[in-house]
Structure 1
């Protein structure tokens, strides 16, 4: 069940990016609106991983390594090699034009929170979002009712919630089949004379084991093919080739920063 009314019950949920999520209500937010912003994604510039849903694996794989992290084996897109750095989003808030923008980012500043008492989802809005302002050009409410913009946002969040549940089922399938293994992303720098230096580990994560996948019974592989999971698994595996591109981007950014400092 979902709702768009404020409630005094305690709320819980994953709110990465959200500084001050509040249950959306006409009483608290009836005068607010959204101001158009040319580069609206500055809030992503300080994080290097963003959660993904399973249906996003294929488009995300064209831009990022898609890996699994944490105890929950959460699938994420890797956008940088350091926690506070995003190589795909400028400080001003623009994504690189070729980069896929995850749904987790596109739903901002809206998010569903769990009302654990009444067992429902409540639509919230990040009151700290800089483009949410009193008298904003696109209102959140019209004559006391959610505006078309808000209704579209709720529909998007509803769809996202369905995809999130589908993703949990996909991860459970991988876990039940024992297909995930620990992997490392390693970079081998070069010495001044061009010889390879000692390898450096830049990340540790979970990924599908190709050996375990090949060892599955034929009927299980057919089942994974027919339910669409096999295609998502291959998209994830292909995406891991993106580590080299990510490393190259990090070096390019460092070289550009060094060049700017040298010219200062």
Structure 2
């Protein structure tokens, strides 16, 4: 598992933000006639991504669905939703999210996103003009009488909250780095034959995770500090989430059976 997605998820106005193929600064002049139509299955844009960025406050709810790991030089936290690039085991090609799976905020904010205006030192609300549910005369208008609609104002609030969580996540990762708590780990799958005998282990991914051994070496004072600022709970949620690799393997085999790629038991 490479850090390509981690790099692309940073992005700005040039269109290299994960999921956003045509982001444009939102304005009444350009988008005054546009609106959003309700869609029963709106998540097709996620179906070809096997990882999705996470914020730290999402670790606990996400841990019930996915492994939450850290990728790339910046150690960006992501939810792992598939075992191979281009395949998401939780989202169908039609855009339906599994009913029992947590939907990350990074996904829920789409088609809106903030971009940095470095010249003005401010954030600009952008919209992915390529989103298929944004159309001329859509049911929920983006602007009313030339002013942002309630729909857009709610999106602005969501993106503001997301930005605060993103900054909080950066601080959390810096804390883990400063405490030297990261280690490189491997997700490994051991296949079994028809008789249940184990075969050659197969590596699924390399990633960064918190080292339980390093965590144990922290002083009582430092552990109490992590407990009191909430970081310890997020660390444990991350560690518990790593049990989800087995679920991903089972889901991958089930999809392969459904697609006729394999037969019988894995």
Answer yes or no: same fold by TM over 0.5. Answer: yes
Corresponding residue for residue 71 of structure 1: 73
Corresponding residue for residue 137 of structure 2: 135
SS in 2 for 1:90: coil
SS in 1 for 2:260: helix
Corresponding residue for residue 170 of structure 1: 172
Give the Cα–Cα distance (whole angstroms) in 1 for the partners of residues 15 and 34 of structure 2: 24
Corresponding residue for residue 198 of structure 1: 200
Corresponding residue for residue 145 of structure 1: 147
SS in 2 for 1:206: strand
Q: Give the superposition deviation at 1:196.
A: 1.1
Corresponding residue for residue 4 of structure 2: none
Change (3 A) 1:97 1:247: same
Change (3 A) 1:28 1:60: same
1:22 to 3, 21, 24: 24
Give the Cα–Cα distance (whole angstroms) in 2 for the partners of residues 12 and 257 of structure 1: 37
- Size of the aligned set, in residue pairs, is 252
Change (3 A) 1:201 1:166: same
Corresponding residue for residue 217 of structure 2: 215
Deviations 1:199-220 (A, max 9, x none): 0000000000000000001100
Corresponding residue for residue 60 of structure 1: 62
Corresponding residue for residue 256 of structure 1: 258
Report if the CA contact (8 A) 1:13-1:114 is conserved.
Answer: no
User: TM-score scaled to structure 2, two decimals?
Assistant: 0.92
Q: Give the superposition deviation at 1:11.
A: 3.7
Change (3 A) 1:38 1:97: same
Corresponding residue for residue 188 of structure 2: 186
Q: Which moved more, 1:237-246 or 1:188-197?
A: 188-197
User: TM-score scaled to structure 1, two decimals?
Assistant: 0.93
Give the Cα–Cα distance (whole angstroms) in 2 for the partners of residues 144 and 171 of structure 1: 41
Q: Give the superposition deviation at 1:260.
A: 10
Report if the CA contact (8 A) 2:114-2:125 is conserved.
Answer: yes
Q: Give the superposition deviation at 1:191.
A: 3.0
Corresponding residue for residue 161 of structure 2: 159
Report if the CA contact (8 A) 1:32-1:139 is conserved.
Answer: yes
Corresponding residue for residue 119 of structure 1: 121
Q: Give the superposition deviation at 1:194.
A: 3.1
Corresponding residue for residue 248 of structure 2: 246
